[in-house]
Amino acid sequence: MPVHNRDIAEQFSRLADLLEVEGANPFRVRAYRNAARTVGSHSRGMAEMLEQGEDLTRLPGIGQDLAGKIRQIVDTGHLPLLDKVAQRTPPALSELMHIEGLGPKRMKALYEALEIRSLADLKQAVDRQQVRELAGFGAKTEAKIGRGIERLAGSAARTKLMHAEQIAAPLVAWLKDSEGVKAVEVAGSFRRRQETVGDLDILVTASRSSDVMERFVRYDEVAEAVSQGKTRSTVRLRSGLQVDLRVVPEVAYGAALYYFTGSKDHNVAVRKLALKRQLKINEYGVFKGDERVAGRTEKAVFDSVGLPFIPPELRENRGEIEAASMGRLPVLVELDDIRGDLHCHTNATDGHHSLEQMARAAQELGYEYLAISDHSRHVSVAHGLDSRRLEAQIAAIDRLNEKLGGLVLLKSAEVDILEDGSLDLPDAVLTQLDFTVCAVHYKFDLSRKRQTERVLRAMDNPHFNILAHPTGRLINEREPYDIDLEQIMQAAMARGCFLELNAHPDRLDLNDAHCKLARDIGLKLAVSTDAHSTSDLEFMRYGIGQARRGWLQADDVLNTRSLNALKKLLRRS
């Protein structure tokens, strides 16, 4: 059974977790985390690269030792060192570390003081209010851990969109190779570009449905064939994700694609429109009595109820049907509209690639500009830049811009917003930048009032331009901090500042509702990747998916503009 990049990345991540609980050298832990990130985000398979004799040490952060461990996993399916460390540690501990409020030090304290070995143990300790009695915890931390337990239980059934893509792509390719297959498409929340998906719904048109079904259940990632029929089968993959496959006739393909794309609320609302026309819509087509009057294409389904085609990202019954009926659907932003990225990192801090490597990757994407926004000094874990190092980077950017053709590197920094609302770097160095990306990286537990005031005070600084990942959330891992986003957006409008839609698939921060709120207020957003490697620049598509779910048009996005137009917008008067 072939080993995929995600398998290697998962083993490195788990090893890093376990070593961190044991109190291992933090540089060693970070090396495994960086390796997991490098492998997990790489566009080519490690197995393929090894088979072709390529040198893995050319990958960022991969030395001889890690390259050897990757080969071990590719050859055997597992990492002996992970097996060895796992034998010393209760298996649930690495999972528990991802609960908000916990980390390696606190997990070790719980392990030793309360003999916490499982999620059930931890929940019982929280319910009995035992956690608050330990030094360094308290009632507030105990409550946060309790909320984290609930969130962990609730998120277990949802897969992040990027991971779902990594799972779906080889399966779709496998199905397309089946003889007689004419079309394959993933529907459901995946097609609507929701940030997480519960399962995968795949539709196929084929001349021989039985051949497709047989090939489907023989896919090498299938852990269990739940059911197998002539036109529908269900499997559970090794990843735990359930996949439903339906083979539909071409005459009904559009109706089936529409129906299984959803959402349920959208479909119910459209069916009500159909009933007024004495029509019935289901996965088999649009019917007037027993006669099928539409169904071959989605456009035909919408035409039958007097609506223009509604993009899948909008189908949530949140006003899109009314807008469509009045001819007011937005012309949604496209990936091709993006002319640059306004938030990325280099190996000067916690990124994996150099200035020039990031620049060349942006050139390959056809970008006009790329902003280098490495961390400021307060983020010590990321080796944040102080004034001296940032000024050296500014000079390096100037030198590189002299030899780059067709791309301009913009001088920026991801400047920490301190607890009192001041910025982490002095005005004397901030004034040398083209613009700043400012962010909250600690003290997430402030009250709503204090957190909001903190960001508002930061915005008062004339060097503040863009608020990065404005709620601080990590999907399935960390709740957003409590902040009045509408007040922040209104203040940004008044001050000539902007907010970021962070396109990293672990964040997608702002969410779709926040994007719609910004659009309604009239605030333009920067869709940026927060890239820490050259391959991360391709995360832009996730941000565009989220932007489309938030009804954003090209004009609503800062970085759809030319460099000159962008600079004018970023210039605070």
**Residues 362, 442: Cα–Cα separation, whole Å:** 30
Do 464 and 360 fall into the same domain? yes
Last residue of a domain, one of 278, 305, 325: 325
Q: What is the pLDDT of residue 14?
A: 83
Q: Is the pLDDT of residue 155 over 60?
A: no
pTM flag (> 0.85):
no
**Residues 191, 394: Cα–Cα separation, whole Å:** 41
* Residue 571 neighbours by CB distance under 10 Å: 11
What would the mean pLDDT of 222-241 be, rounded to a whole number? 90
Do 146 and 231 fall into the same domain? no
What would the mean pLDDT of 456-476 be, rounded to a whole number? 95
Write the burial class of residue 544 (CB in 10 Å: 0-12 exposed, 13-18 middle, 19+ buried).
buried
Q: Is the pLDDT of residue 380 over 80?
A: no
Residue 77 lies inside a defined structural domain of this protein: yes
Domain harbouring 56, CATH code: 1.10.150.110
Q: Is the pLDDT of residue 157 over 70?
A: no
Do 268 and 358 fall into the same domain? no
Do 272 and 199 fall into the same domain? no
Residue 468 lies inside a defined structural domain of this protein: yes
Using one digit for the tens of pLDDT, what is the confidence trace for 78-120?
888 988 888 777 666 666 776 777 776 787 788 778 888 777 8
Do 383 and 502 fall into the same domain? yes
Quick check: 379 and 416 in contact, CB under 8 A? yes
**Measuring CA to CA, which residue among 103, 312, 96 is closest to residue 188?**
312
**Residue 572's pLDDT band (cuts 50, 70, 90):** confident
**Measuring CA to CA, which residue among 411, 403, 389, 393 is closest to residue 354?**
393
* Residue 553 neighbours by CB distance under 10 Å: 16
**Residue 317's pLDDT band (cuts 50, 70, 90):** very high
Last residue of a domain, one of 223, 247, 271: 247
Query: Which range (117-126, 212-221, 538-547, 558-567) has the least confidence?
Result: 117-126
Using one digit for the tens of pLDDT, what is the confidence trace for 412-455?
999 999 999 999 999 999 999 999 999 999 999 899 999 999 99
**Residues 505, 197: Cα–Cα separation, whole Å:** 13
**Residues 100, 404: Cα–Cα separation, whole Å:** 43
Q: What is the pLDDT of residue 86?
A: 80
Do 385 and 526 fall into the same domain? yes
In whole numbers, what is the pLDDT of the chain averaged over residues? 91
Phi and psi angles of residue 450, each rounded to the nearest 5 degrees, phi first: -70, -40
Residue 330 lies inside a defined structural domain of this protein: no
Per the structure, the complete domain to which residue 62 belongs is given by 5-155
Share of the chain above pLDDT 90, in %: 66
Do 469 and 500 fall into the same domain? yes
Q: Each residue of 430-463: b (16+ CB within 10 Å) or e? A: beebbbbbbbbbeebebeeeebbbbbbbbbebeb
**Residues 566, 558: Cα–Cα separation, whole Å:** 7
Last residue of a domain, one of 269, 304, 325: 325
Residue 552 lies inside a defined structural domain of this protein: yes
Q: What is the pLDDT of residue 90?
A: 67
Write the burial class of residue 107 (CB in 10 Å: 0-12 exposed, 13-18 middle, 19+ buried).
buried
Q: What is the pLDDT of residue 10?
A: 85
Domain harbouring 237, CATH code: 3.30.460.10
| 150 or 508, greater pLDDT | 508
**Residues 127, 148: Cα–Cα separation, whole Å:** 13
DSSP string for 22-84? HT--HHHHHHHHHHHHHHHH-SS-HHHHHHTT--GGGSTT--HHHHHHHHHHHHHSS-HHHHH
Q: Is the pLDDT of residue 369 over 80?
A: yes
Do 84 and 217 fall into the same domain? no
Phi and psi angles of residue 282, each rounded to the nearest 5 degrees, phi first: -145, -170
Quick check: 542 and 503 in contact, CB under 8 A? yes
Distances (CA, A) of 504 to 12, 162, 410, 515, 544: 20, 9, 20, 15, 11
Residue 505 lies inside a defined structural domain of this protein: yes
**Residues 40, 60: Cα–Cα separation, whole Å:** 12
Q: Is the pLDDT of residue 153 over 70?
A: no
Q: What is the largest CA-CA distance in the chain?
A: 76
Q: What is the pLDDT of residue 539?
A: 96
Q: Is the pLDDT of residue 514 over 80?
A: yes
Do 500 and 548 fall into the same domain? yes
Do 497 and 360 fall into the same domain? yes
Determine if residue 69 is left, alpha or beta; phi over 0 gives left, psi from -120 to 50 gives alpha, anything else beta.
alpha
Domain harbouring 436, CATH code: 3.20.20.140
Query: Which position has the token pair 């400012």?
Result: 438
Do 510 and 390 fall into the same domain? yes
What would the mean pLDDT of 162-171 be, rounded to a whole number? 93
Q: What is the pLDDT of residue 338?
A: 98
What would the mean pLDDT of 385-399 be, rounded to a whole number? 95
Tell me the CB-side half-sphere exposure of residue 267, using CA atoms within 13 A: 17
Residue 387 lies inside a defined structural domain of this protein: yes
Domain harbouring 271, CATH code: 3.30.210.10
Which tokens go with 228? 């197998």
R_g over Cα of the chain:
25
Residue 393 lies inside a defined structural domain of this protein: yes
Tell me how many domains the chain contains. 4
Q: What is the pLDDT of residue 104?
A: 67
What would the mean pLDDT of 271-300 be, rounded to a whole number? 95
Residue 497 lies inside a defined structural domain of this protein: yes
Do 542 and 498 fall into the same domain? yes
Bridge partner residues of 190 (DSSP): none
Please give the angle made by the CA atoms of 284, 237 and 67, to the nearest 5 degrees: 135
Quick check: 451 and 505 in contact, CB under 8 A? no
Q: Is the pLDDT of residue 234 over 90?
A: yes
